[in-house]
Structure 1
Amino acid sequence: MQLSKKLILYIFILVTIGSCIEPYFPGDLDYEPMLFIQAIVTDHPDIAPRVQLSNTYPLSTGEDEIIPYVNISGATVYIERDDGIRYYFSEQSWGKGIYYLPDPSFALVAGSSYMLFVETVDGQQFESGYEPYILPTEIEEIGYKYATDQTSELGETSEGYSFNVTTTGDGAESSYYRWEMDHTYRYKVSLHADFIWTGVRLVDTTNYHLVYCYMDDFVRGIYVGSTSGLT
């Protein structure tokens, strides 16, 4: 009987050890240095056309610990229309590798095609094919619902809102969409204050009249959609 108890305990330990999650080391992944070019050219009056250049780097090291594959600063960047007209971008002083189009008169022309050209300071050239400008599709309806979704394999959940967008295309060919979003939210002051700290001294005042505050923020990420495969 004593031997049987030891055997059961031994098997239980083996099963427990075998079910552990193996550690994951990002350094084990293959790494290939390359240049990423992200560009957005839109007819939205509040969004200036921009191009961002960035280098890849291994997950096991920091971005500042590697030699860049391409020098992303000081590049020549322009958009060329199919009739030969070019619009040149300028690099922003506060953002290395971020280029904006400073020409306020720039406007996309329906029926025209555009290509992107990038030449780095070390002479490497990159260019896209000509892409036609298609008038944007109107959004018919935006809906939302409050939901709780599982966000990890460990069963952790997150509460929030999910949104759906309804639109209709002409059905002639597949369409591809990208959205940029910002959100405005309201929050309630949790505590009352009889003084406000200005960074230098306390001011004898209250926040009783500031019960609710509002904040606007840009939603980070790339949100895309496609009608490919839909009928």
Structure 2
Amino acid sequence: MKVLHYLSFVLLWLAFSCVTPYNPDTQSLDSKLVVDGNVTDQPGRSGINLTLTTDYTVTGLNFLVTKATVYVTDDRGQRISYRESTGGNYQPVDANWKGQVGRTYTLFVQTTDGRQYQSTPQLMRAVPPIDTLYYEYSRKPGVSSQTVNKGFDLYIDTKDPATPGDYYRWRWKHYELINYCRTNEVQQGPSTVIYGFYCCETCWDIEQCYGCNNTGADTRINGNKIARQPIMRIPYNSTSRYYVEVEQESLTPDAYQYWNTVSQLTQNNGGIFDATPVPLKGNITCTNRTGELAFGFFGASSVSLKATFVDRSKAPDTPDTRIVPIVPPGPLTPCSRCVESPFRTQITPRFWKY
């Protein structure tokens, strides 16, 4: 028996000692430019966001592209210069500038390392106005069988023109008037207390759906009404009014193809019956380095803008709980500045009523 135990031990030791961990070599790919932006016929709503792809071993967001030279030209030779407003985000130098329906626009970018990029020309097509903007309260199953998703579904109605070949994209932006411009979490025993510091000036938080690709085409409904087009689901976590602006954009055929492909790729969940991934080809090319890849899309869109206040106080239900900061105890603390950014602003929203 002792001999058998000894042999078993030796065999086990040999088996495990012969296993060599496999650490595959990883290849780092050069960072590639990613462009996300467009020109619109609304002042203050044209912008270009520039980032660089990261190695797949790096967790987190793409790197921002700063200090680039960015400008747009139209088919009449006009040049519109852009400047960096926040990291990687570029806006027209003339804040009141806006594009025109019927004009064609091309983007040019030069990074600090000398790489030059250009988009394909994009024609700004007209877009019909949003007729109505409305919402309905509903309860839906939550993430688990024990929870309920309470909220308001926001819809629009619009009338498609009689001409065929119209393409749309819908986006939304929520502004919330805030009291606190800075918060601080403090551990007090087993609990975490969130202290809030008042804003020094009137300030709004900005929330929008990054990565949402809500697109449509008039292939089957040309010239008819587009009814109950879903826009977003508004959370029921307060009885206060919820302010939201909805943009209805016109798209060129290649812009629609791009964003529709993005939507298909993001909706696939990896199941065995999912469609085979399709190549995501944008409209940006590097003009001074052969074979240099670039990603993303630059477009030109006419925009119909409509806003509403969702009156959440009339919901036949109680709102979900929401953590509200408290003012720190003790002497009066200094206020915190409302720093202008894509996520916060001191500028009163366009349709704000209060």
**What amino acid is aligned across from residue 76 of structure 1 in structure 2?**
T
Change (3 A) 1:103 1:150: same
Question: Shift of residue 182 of structure 1?
Answer: 2.0
Change (3 A) 1:157 1:34: farther
Give the aligned partner of residue 120 of structure 2. Answer: 129
- Counterpart Cα distance in 2 of 1:121 and 1:230: 47
Question: Shift of residue 169 of structure 1?
Answer: 1.8
Give the aligned partner of residue 167 of structure 2. Answer: 175
Which consecutive unaligned segments of at least 5 residues does structure 2 have? 1-26, 179-194, 198-202, 222-354
Please show how residues 21-32 of structure 1 align to structure 2 within 5 Å: none
Q: Looking at both structures, which has the greater relative contact order when contacts are Cα pairs under 8 Å and sequence separation is at least 6?
A: 2
Q: Is the 8 A contact 2:164 2:219 kept in 1?
A: no
Give the aligned partner of residue 115 of structure 1. Answer: 106
Please show how residues 60-209 of structure 1 align to structure 2 within 5 Å: 61-63=58-60, 72-92=65-85, 95-104=86-95, 106-150=97-141, 152=143, 154-155=144-145, 156-170=147-161, 171-184=163-176
Structure 2 residue matching 1:89: 3-state secondary structure: strand
**What amino acid is aligned across from residue 53 of structure 1 in structure 2?**
L
Question: Shift of residue 198 of structure 1?
Answer: 11
- CA deviations 1:96-147 (Å, max 9, x no partner) are 2111112145232221111111111112222211111223320111121112
Change (3 A) 1:56 1:146: farther
Instruction: Give yes or no for the alignment of 1:54 onto 2:39.
Output: no
Change (3 A) 1:180 1:79: farther
- Counterpart Cα distance in 2 of 1:146 and 1:60: 43
- Counterpart Cα distance in 1 of 2:66 and 2:155: 39
Give the aligned partner of residue 44 of structure 1. Answer: 42
Structure 1 residue matching 2:40: 3-state secondary structure: coil
Structure 2 residue matching 1:172: 3-state secondary structure: coil
Change (3 A) 1:58 1:220: farther
Q: Is the 8 A contact 1:182 1:216 kept in 2?
A: no
Change (3 A) 1:105 1:147: closer
- Counterpart Cα distance in 1 of 2:103 and 2:37: 18
- Counterpart Cα distance in 1 of 2:35 and 2:104: 19
- What TM-score do the two structures reach when normalised by structure 2? 0.41
Question: Shift of residue 36 of structure 1?
Answer: 1.7
Change (3 A) 1:198 1:124: closer
Q: Provide the aligned C-alpha RMSD in A.
A: 3.5
Q: Is the 8 A contact 1:48 1:101 kept in 2?
A: no
Change (3 A) 1:73 1:142: same
- Counterpart Cα distance in 2 of 1:89 and 1:73: 12
Change (3 A) 1:198 1:91: closer
Q: Is the 8 A contact 2:39 2:98 kept in 1?
A: no
Question: Shift of residue 44 of structure 1?
Answer: 2.2
- Counterpart Cα distance in 2 of 1:221 and 1:34: 24
Report how many residues are paired: 170
Question: Shift of residue 48 of structure 1?
Answer: 4.0
**What amino acid is aligned across from residue 58 of structure 2 in structure 1?**
T
Q: Is the 8 A contact 1:36 1:53 kept in 2?
A: yes
Give the aligned partner of residue 275 of structure 2. Answer: none
Q: Is the 8 A contact 1:52 1:99 kept in 2?
A: yes
- Counterpart Cα distance in 2 of 1:144 and 1:183: 17
Change (3 A) 1:150 1:74: same
**What amino acid is aligned across from residue 173 of structure 1 in structure 2?**
G
**What amino acid is aligned across from residue 78 of structure 2 in structure 1?**
I
Give the aligned partner of residue 227 of structure 1. Answer: 217
**What amino acid is aligned across from residue 46 of structure 2 in structure 1?**
P
Q: Is the 8 A contact 1:147 1:161 kept in 2?
A: yes
- Counterpart Cα distance in 2 of 1:147 and 1:60: 42
Question: Shift of residue 60 of structure 1?
Answer: 5.9
Give the aligned partner of residue 190 of structure 1. Answer: none
**What amino acid is aligned across from residue 82 of structure 2 in structure 1?**
F
Question: Shift of residue 183 of structure 1?
Answer: 4.3
Structure 1 residue matching 2:54: 3-state secondary structure: coil
Identical positions, percent: 21
